[in-house]
Structure 1
Amino acid sequence: MDSSQDEKEEREHFLRIVRAFKHYKFHSLDRIARTERFLAKLPHKHRGLLARYSEHLSTLKTCVENNDKIIKKIVKDVSTIFENSHLVDSKTATSSPTAQPSPADMEKVQATLKQFVRDWSDEGKLERQACYQPIIDELEKYYPESIRSRQEHRVLVPGAGLGRLAYEIASRGFMCQGNEFSLFMLFGSNFILNRCEGPNTLQVHPWVHQSVNCLSSSDQTRGVRFPDVNPSCLPPHAQFSMAAGDFLEIYTENDYWDCVATCFFIDCANNIVAFIETIYKIIKPGGIWINLGPLLYHFADMLGEESIEPSYELVKEVILGIGFIIEKEETGVKTTYAQNPHSMLKYEYDSVFLVCRKPEQSYSYSNGTQDEEVDDSDYEGSTVV
């Protein structure tokens, strides 16, 4: 594929995501309007009994309006944060008559709003303690501040989302880079990390689209303030960056990272073996991989996508076969993801927590010989921004 075609596809993808954010208000209000129209068809007696429900629908519209104010901040001048931004004019995002966002894209916009709660609110603290704290604790155990300056240790966080785990690692003195492929998450992380106005200055209504399993109407409409900390207040010498792009394409330098920390990430691959293989290659001999999460396998039931979905038992064989030494393994670790704590229905993962070390003397898992040189021709890198 030539560069002009690449640029065209890049531009179209970018505009598609901008379009989804900008469509949020119309999409959400239209959904409420459909409910109102159905309500108006009910018998007069039924409508009388549902008078408070009608008021609730009006409150939902106010919540959507408030969420849209956050979205406008997220997409404001967003094209200036990426390379090749001259190819993109976000003002044209809604100009195409065939520009209707897909239901899947609208769900991702809603998921981004929930992610602000998980990563950057007091309400998300329990989730972060369950998912992020074990990773941070292991990292601090392996690299105590007293032994060597943490600034000399490079930590990579693929699938960084809105950047909170990478932020916390950088705040503890490590040189840390977050990597994210999803433009939905990248738009959100750029906003929260670079343009946020200060602690608890913003409010989102994350559960406004969750119309089922609500014990109280207020559970659906309540607001959550964020961010719980000022993201710009890192220690003076903190080294923190975010890289946009495909993990397999960007990270091709062997033996570079002291640690790769993954949380709810490795099951995002069509081929989980490729993720584990790349993690092994880029970690320095003696370095560690810390992983926590389930095996949801995002592409498993996605139309038009191919995927493999091995059990954890088989994934463990892959990890050992590639060359890792498993130093810590815990199963049944209770975790949630962007969970509404007031919902009548809650999902909980029995996640796996692993700490794996790359041996000081690494060997090729393909032929059992010392791995002196690895051909990276299959992984052409994209630019880190």
Structure 2
Amino acid sequence: MAGKETETNISNEEDLERKHFMRILAAFMYYKTYASSRVDHAHASFKSIPQHHQDLLPDFIPHLKQIKHCIDHNFIIIQLMLDSTRDMFENSSVITNGESAGAKAVVKMDMDKVLTTLKQFFRDWSSDGKEERDGCYKPIIDEIKQLYPKGKCKPDEVDVLVPGAGLGRLAFEIASNGYRCQGNEFSLFMLIASHFILNKSTETNMFTLYPWIHAFSNNKSSANQIRPIHFPDINPMLLSPDAHFSMVAGDFLEVYTDEDLWDCVATSYFIDTAKNILAYIEKIYRILKPGGHWVNLGPLLYHFENMPNEDSIEISYDVLQRVILDMGFKILKENPCVRSTYIQDPESMMRYSYECVFFVCQKPASPHERAQEQL
């Protein structure tokens, strides 16, 4: 009986995973229709205004046609991404050349994630995104170099974990500096995109994408809306064959169960993705080796806040700081005023920026040291 029950549970889990995969594919495959509908709406709105007003905007319709061309090109990139999943998932036979049968059921939240994924190429793998990357990733990489300098340790013996790795650039850069680095990502949107960029790129700037065409407001010029980015700005294939770099799919809390395993955990714009941020802190503490370090940079934009049917614990930074100390960490370094952006169009008339907190924590090297810290 127990054996049949286990088989049933496994079957149910596989069915859920397949349905989830199908849902993500449907969202990607619906992109062209979804993006084009916004252009069609703009076209209809233009035709609804008086003719003498239309005459004042002779370039309006030609510009919409250019946006449609950019959408077509973006969809070609999406199809290439989905084709690359054939060696990533066993159930890749669900990929079709047309739109998924489940497209009608695609929800707006999933389409927002598709558009966000396209903009992630700007952030992680284009020369245009270097300024944004440097604001978020460089402090973390520089800190790891200081904590584990090549003159005092062997980088290829230092194990670094990057949960919430996105499209993998931060983990890739850490591995490029000689450290053993593993990226972890839960989102299938990000995993499909990262697999494409890391495994299908064979030269610099071989792909073109138009990430800003979906924004019809705050454009300084029509040309800015349709300007392209080129990626990757470096060839991932040129990573040294001796480098230790990997990407692992799955929920951070479920995947990493071995304690005292990692020398360093590096988190960028990650900890606020938790439903329960305390569980993240506890997990990081447990998986770090005694004396290991946690390097973090990011805001506290809790992703599950006000989301229907989802539990979410939101705490302020001063409370978070106390919890970090109560869990047993020592805070070695802290800067609560690091300004950075996240997938923001540098040419837009409106840009959101975050005043992020950057901190470095250390797990005590021994139980005795922790006991001393608690006194």
Scaled by the length of structure 1, the TM-score of the pair is: 0.91
Q: Does the CA contact (< 8 Å) of 1:15 and 1:88 recur in 2?
A: no
Q: What residue identity is the alignment partner of 2:238?
A: C
Q: Does the CA contact (< 8 Å) of 2:30 and 2:103 recur in 1?
A: no
Pairwise CA distance, 1:96: 3.4
1:128 aligns with 2:133: yes
Map of 1:269 onto structure 2: 274
Map of 2:16 onto structure 1: 9
Q: Does the CA contact (< 8 Å) of 2:159 and 2:264 recur in 1?
A: yes
Aligned positions of 1:154-169 closer than 5 A: 154-169=159-174
Q: What residue identity is the alignment partner of 2:150?
A: E
Map of 2:197 onto structure 1: 192
Distance 1:169 1:254, change over 3 A: same
Give, in whole Å, the separation in 1 of the partners of 2:368 and 2:110: 43
Give, in whole Å, the separation in 2 of the partners of 1:199 and 1:92: 27
Give, in whole Å, the separation in 1 of the partners of 2:191 and 2:14: 19
Question: What percentage of aligned pairs have identical amino acids?
Answer: 48
**What do residues 36-58 of structure 1 show as CA deviations (whole Å, max 9, x unaligned)?**
12211221111111221122111
Give secondary structure in 1 for the equivalent of 2:127. Answer: coil
Give, in whole Å, the separation in 1 of the partners of 2:36 and 2:256: 42
Aligned positions of 1:1-385 closer than 5 A: 2-82=9-89, 85-86=90-91, 89-91=94-96, 94=99, 96=101, 99-362=104-367
Q: Does the CA contact (< 8 Å) of 1:323 and 1:364 recur in 2?
A: no
Pairwise CA distance, 1:92: 9.7
**What do residues 265-289 of structure 1 show as CA deviations (whole Å, max 9, x unaligned)?**
0000000000000000000000100
Pairwise CA distance, 1:99: 4.3
Q: Does the CA contact (< 8 Å) of 1:323 and 1:362 recur in 2?
A: no
Give, in whole Å, the separation in 2 of the partners of 1:253 and 1:364: 22
Q: What residue identity is the alignment partner of 1:6?
A: E
Instruction: Calculate the aligned-residue CA RMSD, in Å.
Output: 1.9
Give, in whole Å, the separation in 1 of the partners of 2:83 and 2:274: 31
Distance 1:77 1:138, change over 3 A: closer
Give, in whole Å, the separation in 2 of the partners of 1:225 and 1:91: 26
Give secondary structure in 2 for the equivalent of 1:232. Answer: helix
Distance 1:25 1:86, change over 3 A: closer
Q: Does the CA contact (< 8 Å) of 1:11 and 1:88 recur in 2?
A: no
Give, in whole Å, the separation in 2 of the partners of 1:104 and 1:25: 16
Give secondary structure in 2 for the equivalent of 1:51. Answer: coil
Q: Does the CA contact (< 8 Å) of 1:16 and 1:93 recur in 2?
A: no
Structure 1 window deviating more from structure 2 (161-170 vs 93-102): it is 93-102
Map of 1:376 onto structure 2: none
Give, in whole Å, the separation in 2 of the partners of 1:176 and 1:190: 16
Aligned residue pairs total 366
Scaled by the length of structure 2, the TM-score of the pair is: 0.94
